[in-house]
Chains A and B, each alone.
Chain A
Amino acid sequence: AQSVSQHNHHVILSEAASLELGCNYSYGGTVNLFWYVQYPGQHLQLLLKYFSGDPLVKGIKGFEAEFIKSKFSFNLRKPSVQWSDTAEYFCAVNARNGGFKTIFGAGTRLFVKA
């Protein structure tokens, strides 16, 4: 069965610091990969996605993620965080022959100090 592992449960950064959130998945087949974000009091929304092609994908608000197939990883990065990036971030994986189920990691709570 596929699973998603997020390395950090809580991250605290100061504004302008760089961010990298780790995500690894376990599935040997072809996958679609996602990062979702949940801002305080809001519903989950898509941050970025990878289906195929360039393994470095760019999303909204300056976020990017790199798919490294050999490492089964899809880490999220942002060069300089802002206070408004305070949120919970979820990595998610959808196996293309996995019955259309999208499986989520445990989430990482990011708090950015102003």
Chain B
Amino acid sequence: DAGVIQSPRHEVTEMGQEVTLRCKPISGHDYLFWYRQTMMRGLELLIYFNNNVPIDDSGMPEDRFSAKMPNASFSTLKIQPSEPRDSAVYFCASSHSSIEGNDGYTFGSGTRLTVV
């Protein structure tokens, strides 16, 4: 099992450019989560999907952020246009059931995004 796979590992882009982050969850997991981690705010949930359907996107900071999950094995987080304050590490995580009592909540290695 390769775990949750994220790409790219690092992304440096200029302000105003579009950025797309990718995630492949663990096969069989039906929940997928996107998190953002910064020094100031720690880990924050942006959005999560259940069976490819977005359930709650209340953590998405603004309309510049969008996420899709076209199938059970792939999800994207897009920022358009990007701004310097979007610089952070973005994590994808997946789980095979609801979180309650379940320790099968696996994070990817993250994408470090730098917007200059």
Do they bind each other? no
- Name A's B-contacting residues (CB within 8 A): none
